[in-house]
Amino acid sequence: MTSELITMTMTNEREKTPVLLPREVFRTVVELTPLGSIDLIVRDRSSRTLLGYRLNRPAQGFWFVPGGRVGKNETLRAAFARLCLAELGVELDFGRTRFVGVFEHLYPDNFSGDSAFGTHYIVLAYSIEADPDELRLPADQHNDYTWLTEQEIRQRDDVHHYSKAYCARLQL
């Protein structure tokens, strides 16, 4: 068994929930349960959407909106704040978001590369406007970023279909 740890930020001091899960424990979680997550549909004043080119599984090799898992006993507000800092490099106000909806993402692969199981996410999608010049985008999950219009997102084959679904919902 490898001692590599998978980052899972938790906020539950009372239960002493682990901040880092051992890789094999997280592998079992992914294999046996759905993961709860928040995706951030970040738009600029021109209604362009921020997408990052995914380095990691699942959705590796596609343009995808930023986001991440919600930890056990982590409130949605706390998860949103943590994810904005981790994925965008800035603090954004949860009160300014628009709830876009609940989405289910089923991937044939997973972070470990084990072909025996996929990844299942239950995603809460939130849209928020941000100034591109104020973001400090990290390079650990995505190696490149772009801002695309809804039409560009719909037309490109390298934008993941789950990110396209967010734009379709925003048009309603």
**Residue 148 phi, psi (nearest 5):** -125, 150
Q: What is the mean pLDDT of residues 149-169?
A: 95
Q: What is the mean pLDDT of residues 45-51?
A: 97
Flag whether the pTM goes above 0.75: yes
Q: Which domains, ranges and CATH numbers included, belong to the chain? A: 36-170 (3.90.79.10)
Give pLDDT, residue 2: 43
Give pLDDT, residue 91: 95
Residue appearing with tokens 């362009």:
48
Distance from C-alpha of 130 to C-alpha of 50, rounded to nearest angstrom: 10
Give pLDDT, residue 170: 87
Mean pLDDT of all residues in the chain? Answer: 89
Distance from C-alpha of 172 to C-alpha of 155, rounded to nearest angstrom: 18
